[in-house]
């Protein structure tokens, strides 16, 4: 309560300060620059983080290296994020794929982190490293290694066994991160300890010893930059880090109702929590909703992109700005793919997340909306020392319209600039509201618009109006048109303002004398009204429609745009000559046009632009005349014209050559039975014997031996169980309870006779079923039999609740019994999972790529497997009985250079014999898990570099029919999801090791 009382007193003082708009007494908010004592490059005070002494708004996006295994595509993604105006990427490190076997850490193949660090620096993007050891992230076991499921003791505590478990990982990964810190010339500016250590199992609470152990370990590993922590909500946990922060997902995860917002969805209370827990640090939101996860049986990520679309971005992100947030990380900015067994059971193969950058690396409209906000913040240093002045009393403020909320955010250090953030009081409203603003300015109190009319605000929209804002040498007395950016080029301030189509706005300039220049429309058809006020200010009233360019005297060039035209502008920065060349924010160049502008560089008098086009582009280029006498685009000279107001224009036709894609259904496919385990001739002698009689698992078994796959070192993919028994002649069925996580399924055979399946649904993580022996003709006393169970493993649960060990929830058989044979005993249980278990053999593709299907254990999914003796058969023809078949084919691609044509494997739902599961393997990498009866995913993006765009590809498909009638894929196609002429660096294929003989059985 003491801290809260202090906050109330401080808030009252700031409100009084706001009303007076005093210009003196700067000591009221005395800035104290803080460091961790280990370095002085990344510092902070109560307002913002500083890098090399310069205040920086950290606009960050979340992206995970393990969800994009093609390392040569990291640069493409970093460049797209940088071009959006962001300066930082936050990323998790996944312990479980680096140390799948205790004591053996591997960075082979896609797991090598150094290309990630190198690409970030090359693009000019800072990094926030989040190595856990727990990460959550909708990742199997929340990022913990599978061997943790049989390690005794509570995890996410100071328990000795857990402490010993993470030592090697934290030391090894911490050392790699340390080598890439900004203090060592790398891109890493912050390191997060743990993740959302916010909730605990009953009887447990925050473990301060554990927190201190981790902090010591990170420092011992060489981490010198500030250490952070993200509370899942502002609860004041783990405050011993350097810079504490929190997470917020205010719009929830109901993608099935993407247009529905709760009326009170927009949170203002976060500011009060910040002032209670860390008032001497910046307001940091380390995870803010950038999209939504989507689960099995849901509606798909396109709907999630609507739920968190451009209107969401305008309302919710600007609300964060109303609370003087200066570190804002959007989870996710690029989601990627849960290829192989990466996912926990709550999500499917795609991790698109409805992000600004889609799974196939294309740009959604969300991307362009974010570009407007990010570029505004980059040129608004006054925002970095602001405080909200009227939170909790902002309804109707400054407008008199109680349907609106206007938060006054003032620069309390510079004591000049004001940011007025307007939104609807009810987040669910779709009504248009009209209003006037009455604001205090350096020229007195003004009612705006000054030239008559009303401002408007649509439902689910928000605006930032400005007072006494500096743009170069220009002083904006106020502007209701939102600023995207400004730049001083050749002695002239170029200012870009925008609004929704056909909105009324005003921008007023204040001058140092009464000699006010005239304003003239030099391009565009929109009319302009002007008015002089207080003898020193010029008011311009306009409508934001299309593009209108206005010259105000000789020193101001004002672009007035509607939102669609504003989306077309890019703000680019030539590299400097320092070792951090691509981090420069000096000498901006403004470019209109193009799907994506990646970079600019000045070579003498030539401006060199690189970018991507999806259609013929018309460019307008605003650059220093001396360095843009010639302009090239992707190395080709542009034909230039000069506008009457001194900018350059040009056009560039797009080249999108056609590409012949294979018709997958017409290819020659080979097929083989991938369930020989049900045949009488099958020998499982070399299988793992499930003979443990005890387990440390919190879920104690109801069976004579432990039937948990994890206890035997199998942590991913399909699991097979074989129960050998001698019949008493009285058995009439078999009851078993199998657990595999949400959307899992299992099938049961008695010898070669199919008994039935649990086909799965999106809800149940386990299912108890009884399977009758009625179709077997009866069992003979003394006869030998085998029950075969094939189950899916959908990943381990996460462990969000600390000290719960939820991630140890077993995958396997929880209980079983014979119906009618109470005395029948299983003589031996045998089991099989991925070949080698924790000693997996495909060290390139990693420990989660393949499961326990016979075809996977034998390597049938790998290139060059000798299938010439297989019979022909296609997955769209399928099989006519329950079981598993494997299919293989090859095809060649020949995609020209200079284009980016992302591709996906596309299937379609079938309602005849709908109960089946398929997995898709491209050149040995599992890039799709399809459950026809659950869905929703039917399009499976496969990135270039997994697909060989210039050579031979191997495609393998497993088909597990769970019904007696069999199953088949309804369709299967390889399709392009976009066609873009691109300047991205050439893609290097990930290693694709060929098949070698395996001794699997």
Averaged over 708-713, what is the pLDDT? Answer: 98
Mean pLDDT over residues 439-458, rounded?
97
- Tokens 């009221």 label which residue? 28
Task: Give, in degrees to the nearest 5, the angle at Cα 234 between 231 and 240.
Answer: 55
Tell me, what's the pLDDT at 574? 98
Quickly state the pLDDT bin for 49 (edges 50, 70, 90). Answer: very high
pLDDT of residue 17: 26
Catalytic residue among 196, 433, 506, 981: 196
The b-or-e profile of 838-877 (16+ CB within 10 A means b, else e) is bebbbbbbbbbbbbbbbbbbbbbbbbebebeebeebbbbb
Give the DSSP per-residue string, 448-483: E-TTSS-EEE-TT-EEEEEEEEEETTEEEEEESSEE
Which pLDDT band holds residue 10 (cuts at 50, 70, 90)? very low
Retrieve residue 923's tokens.
Answer: 């050149």
Residues 955 and 890 sit within 8 Å (Cβ to Cβ):
yes
User: CA 206, 210, 216, 218: dihedral to nearest 10 degrees?
Assistant: -90
Give the up-direction half-sphere exposure of residue 186: CA atoms within 13 A in the CB hemisphere: 24
CB contact at 8 A, 589 and 561: no
- What radius of gyration do the chain's Cα atoms show? 31
Residue 967 has pLDDT above 80, yes or no: yes
pLDDT at 32 (0 to 100): 55
> Rounded mean pLDDT of 108-135?
98
Average pLDDT over residues 683-698: 97
Name the token pair of 137.
Answer: 């992230």
Least confident residue range of 31-45, 254-268, 698-712, 725-739: 31-45
Q: Across residues 831-847, what is the average pLDDT? A: 98
Task: Give me the catalytic one of 46, 211, 287, 503.
Answer: 287
CA–CA gap between residue 4 and residue 267 (Å, rounded): 18
In this prediction, residues 246-254 reach a mean pLDDT of 97
Computed over every residue of the chain, the mean pLDDT equals: 95
- Of 799, 816, 818, 817, nearest to 808 by C-alpha is 799
133: region left, alpha or beta (phi > 0 left; psi from -120 to 50 alpha): alpha
Question: Which of 920, 926, 923 is closest to 905 using CA atoms?
Answer: 920
Closest-CA residue to 433 (of 464, 407, 400, 465): 400
- For residue 25, pLDDT over 60 is answered with no
Tell me the CB-side half-sphere exposure of residue 28, using CA atoms within 13 A: 22
Pairing of strands 227-231, 243-248: parallel
Q: For 220-275, list the strands marked E by DSSP.
A: 227-231, 243-248
Q: Is 206 a catalytic residue?
A: no
Cβ density class 732-750: b for 16+ within 10 Å, e for less: ebbebbbbbbbbbbbbbbb
Label residue 741 by pLDDT band (50, 70, 90): very high
pLDDT tier for residue 776 given thresholds of 50, 70 and 90: confident
Q: How far apart are CA 847 and CA 364, in angstroms?
A: 33
Q: CA–CA distance from 588 to each of 19, 375, 477, 576 (Å)?
A: 36, 11, 24, 12
The residue-averaged pLDDT of 818-838 equals 95
**Residue holding tokens 């299938």?**
867
- Give the list of residues 6+ apart from residue 419 with CB closer than 8 angstroms, or none: 321, 383, 386, 408, 409, 410, 464, 465, 466, 467
986 burial level (CB within 10 Å; 0-12, 13-18, 19+): exposed
- C-alpha of 196 from chain center: 17
What confidence category does residue 166 fall into, taking pLDDT thresholds of 50, 70 and 90?
very high
Q: 676-701 in b/e burial notation, b at 16+ Cβ within 10 A?
A: ebbeeeeebeebbebeeeebebeeeb
What is the three-class DSSP state of 388? strand
- What is the rounded distance in angstroms from the CA atom of residue 625 to the CA atom of residue 489? 9
Cα angle 916-922-925, degrees, rounded to a multiple of 5: 90
Helix axes 160-179, 208-220, angle to 10 degrees: 40
Percent of the chain's residues with pLDDT above 90? 95
In the DSSP assignment, the letter for residue 780 is: P
Quick one: average pLDDT of 239-248?
Answer: 98
* pLDDT tens digits, one per residue of 746-757: 999 999 999 999
Rounded (10°) CA dihedral 175, 118, 349, 285: 70
**Residue 365 annotated as catalytic:** no
Q: In the predicted model, what is the mean pLDDT of residues 288-315?
A: 98
Tokens describing residue 93: 């490190």
Q: 350: helix, coil or strand?
A: strand
User: In this structure, are residues 601 and 577 in contact, taking their beta carbons and an 8 Å threshold?
Assistant: no
Q: In Å, how far are 47, 80, 84, 552 from 362, measured between CA atoms?
A: 35, 10, 13, 39
The pLDDT tens digits for 468-512 are 999 999 999 999 999 999 999 999 999 999 999 999 999 999 999
Sorted by sequence, the CB contacts under 8 Å of residue 293 that are 6+ apart come out as 138, 253, 304, 346, 347, 351, 353
CA pair distance 849, 862, nearest whole angstrom? 11
Instruction: Output the pTM of the full model.
Output: 0.96
Q: Are 269 and 254 in contact (CB under 8 A)?
A: no
Residue 944 — pLDDT band, cuts 50, 70, 90?
Answer: very high
| Range scoring the smallest mean pLDDT among 29-33, 194-198, 792-796, 895-899 | 29-33
Q: How sure is the predictor about 678, in pLDDT bands with cuts at 50, 70 and 90?
A: very high
Whether residue 873 contacts residue 885, with contact meaning beta carbons closer than 8 Å, is answered with: yes
> Has residue 6 got a pLDDT over 90?
no
* Predicted local confidence at residue 34, as pLDDT: 81
The yes-or-no verdict on residue 30 having pLDDT over 50 is no
Q: Could you say which DSSP state residue 947 is in?
A: B
* Strand locations in 515-634 (E): 519-523, 529-533, 537-544, 547-552, 556-562, 569-572, 589-592, 596-603, 606-612, 617-622, 630-633
pLDDT bracket for residue 602 (50, 70, 90): very high
CB 863 within 8 A of CB 888: no
Instruction: Over range 330-357, report the average pLDDT.
Output: 98
- pLDDT tens-digit map of 974-987: 999 999 999 999 99
Q: What percentage of the chain exceeds 70 in pLDDT?
A: 97
**How far apart, in whole angstroms, are the C-alpha atoms of residue 554 and residue 496?**
16
Query: What is the rounded distance in angstroms from the CA atom of residue 523 to the CA atom of residue 505?
Result: 18
Phi and psi dihedrals of 72, rounded to 5?
-75, -10
Q: Hey, is 314 helix, strand or coil?
A: helix
923 Cα distance to chain centroid = 25
The crossing angle, in degrees rounded to 10, of helices 74-83 and 114-123 is: 30
pLDDT of residue 1000: 67
Instruction: Give the phi and the psi of residue 691 in degrees, each rounded to 5.
Output: -130, 10
**At 435, phi and psi to the nearest 5?**
-165, 160
CA torsion angle for 160, 162, 163, 164 (degrees, to 10)?
A: 90
């Amino acid at each position: 309560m003491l801290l809260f009382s202090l906050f109330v007193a401080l808030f009252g003082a700031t409100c009084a300060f706001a009303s007076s708009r005093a210009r003196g007494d700067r000591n009221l908010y005395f800035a104290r620059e803080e460091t961790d004592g280990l370095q002085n490059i990344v510092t902070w005070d109560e307002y913002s983080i500083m890098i090399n002494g310069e205040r920086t708004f950290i606009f960050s996006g979340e992206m995970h290296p393990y969800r994009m295994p093609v390392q040569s595509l990291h640069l493409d993604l970093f460049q797209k994020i940088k071009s959006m105006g962001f300066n930082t990427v936050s990323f998790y490190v996944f312990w479980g794929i680096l140390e799948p076997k205790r004591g053996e850490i591997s960075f082979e193949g896609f797991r090598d982190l150094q290309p990630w660090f190198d690409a970030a620096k090359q693009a000019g993007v800072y990094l926030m490293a989040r190595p856990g050891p727990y990460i959550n992230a909708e990742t199997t076991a929340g990022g913990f290694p599978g061997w943790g499921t049989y390690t005794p003791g509570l995890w996410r505590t100071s328990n000795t066994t857990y402490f010993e478990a993470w030592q090697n990982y934290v030391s090894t990964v911490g050392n790699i991160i340390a080598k890439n810190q900004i203090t060592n010339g790398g891109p890493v500016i912050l390191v997060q300890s743990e993740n959302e250590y916010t909730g605990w199992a009953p009887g447990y609470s925050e473990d301060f010893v554990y927190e201190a152990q981790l902090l010591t370990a990170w420092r011992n590993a060489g981490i010198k930059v500030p250490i952070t922590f993200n509370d899942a909500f502002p609860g004041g946990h783990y405050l011993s880090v350097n810079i504490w922060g929190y997470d917020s997902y205010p719009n929830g995860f109901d993608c099935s109702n993407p247009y529905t917002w709760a009326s009170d969805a927009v949170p203002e209370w976060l500011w009060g929590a910040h002032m209670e827990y860390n008032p001497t640090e910046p307001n940091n939101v380390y995870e803010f909703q950038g999209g939504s996860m989507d689960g099995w049986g849901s509606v798909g990520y396109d709907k999630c992109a609507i739920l968190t679309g451009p209107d969401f971005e305008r309302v919710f992100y600007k609300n964060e700005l109303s609370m003087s947030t200066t570190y804002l990380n959007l989870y996710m900015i690029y989601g990627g793919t849960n290829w192989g067994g990466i996912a926990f059971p709550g999500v499917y193969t795609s991790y698109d997340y409805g992000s600004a950058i889609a799974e196939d690396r294309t740009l959604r409209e969300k991307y362009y909306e974010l570009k407007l906000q990010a570029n505004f913040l980059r040129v608004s240093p006054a925002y970095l020392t602001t405080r909200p002045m009227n939170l909790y009393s902002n309804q109707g403020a400054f407008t008199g319209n109680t349907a609106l909320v206007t938060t006054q955010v003032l620069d309390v250090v510079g004591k000049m600039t004001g940011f007025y953030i307007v939104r609807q009081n009810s987040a669910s409203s779709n009504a248009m509201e009209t209003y006037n603003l009455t604001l205090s300015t350096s020229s007195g109190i003004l009612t705006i618009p000054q030239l008559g009319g009303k401002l408007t605000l649509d439902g689910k929209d928000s605006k930032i109006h400005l007072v006494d804002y500096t743009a170069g040498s220009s002083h904006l007395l106020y502007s209701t048109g939102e600023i995207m950016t400004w730049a001083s080029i050749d002695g002239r301030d170029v200012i870009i303002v925008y609004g929704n189509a056909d909105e009324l706005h005003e921008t007023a300039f204040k001058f140092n004398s009464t000699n006010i220049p005239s304003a003239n429309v030099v391009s565009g058809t929109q009319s302009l009204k002007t008015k002089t006020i207080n003898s020193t200010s010029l008011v311009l009233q306009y409508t934001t429609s299309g593009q209108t360019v206005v010259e105000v005297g000789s020193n101001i060039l004002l672009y007035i745009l509607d939102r669609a035209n504003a989306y077309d502008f890019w703000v680019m920065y030539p590299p400097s000559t320092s070792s951090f060349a691509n981090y420069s924010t000096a000498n901006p160049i403004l470019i209109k046009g193009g799907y994506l502008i990646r970079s600019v560089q000045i070579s003498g008098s030539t401006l060199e632009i690189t970018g991507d086009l999806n259609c013929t582009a018309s460019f307008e280029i605003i650059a220093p005349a001396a360095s843009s006498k010639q302009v090239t685009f992707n190395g080709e000279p542009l034909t230039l014209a000069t506008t009457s107001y001194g900018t350059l224009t040009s056009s560039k036709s797009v080249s999108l050559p056609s590409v012949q894609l294979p018709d997958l259904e017409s290819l020659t496919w080979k097929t083989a039975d991938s369930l020989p385990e049900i045949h009488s001739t099958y020998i499982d002698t070399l299988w793992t014997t499930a003979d443990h009689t005890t387990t440390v698992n919190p879920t104690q078994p109801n069976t004579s031996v432990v039937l948990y796959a994890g206890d035997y070192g199998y942590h991913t993919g399909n699991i097979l169980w074989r129960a050998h028994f001698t019949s008493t002649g009285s058995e009439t069925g078999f009851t078993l309870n199998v657990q595999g996580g949400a959307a899992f399924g299992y099938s049961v055979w008695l010898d070669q006779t199919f008994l039935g399946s649990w086909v799965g649904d999106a809800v149940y993580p386990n299912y108890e079923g009884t399977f009758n022996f009625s179709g077997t003709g009866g069992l003979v006393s003394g006869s030998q039999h085998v029950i075969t169970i094939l189950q899916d493993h959908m990943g381990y649960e996460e462990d969000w609740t600390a000290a719960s060990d939820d991630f140890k929830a077993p995958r396997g058989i929880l209980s079983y019994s014979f119906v009618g044979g109470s005395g029948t005993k299983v003589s031996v249980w045998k089991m099989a999972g991925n070949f080698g278990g924790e000693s997996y053999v495909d060290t390139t593709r990693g420990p989660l790529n393949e499961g326990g299907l016979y075809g996977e254990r034998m390597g049938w999914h790998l290139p060059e497997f000798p299938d010439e003796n297989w019979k022909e058969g296609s997955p769209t023809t399928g099989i006519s009985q329950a079981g598993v078949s494997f299919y293989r084919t090859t095809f060649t691609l020949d995609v020209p250079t200079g284009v980016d044509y992302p591709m996906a494997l596309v299937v379609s739902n079938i309602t005849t014999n709908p109960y089946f599961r398929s997995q898709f393997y491209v050149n040995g990498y599992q890039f799709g898990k399809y459950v026809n009866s659950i869905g929703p995913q039917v399009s499976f993006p496969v990135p270039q570099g997994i697909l060989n765009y210039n050579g031979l590809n191997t495609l393998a498909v497993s088909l597990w029919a769970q019904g007696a009638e069999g199953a088949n894929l309804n369709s299967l196609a390889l399709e392009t999801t976009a066609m873009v002429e691109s300047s991205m660096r050439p893609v290097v294929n990930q290693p694709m090791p060929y098949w070698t003989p395996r001794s699997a059985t």
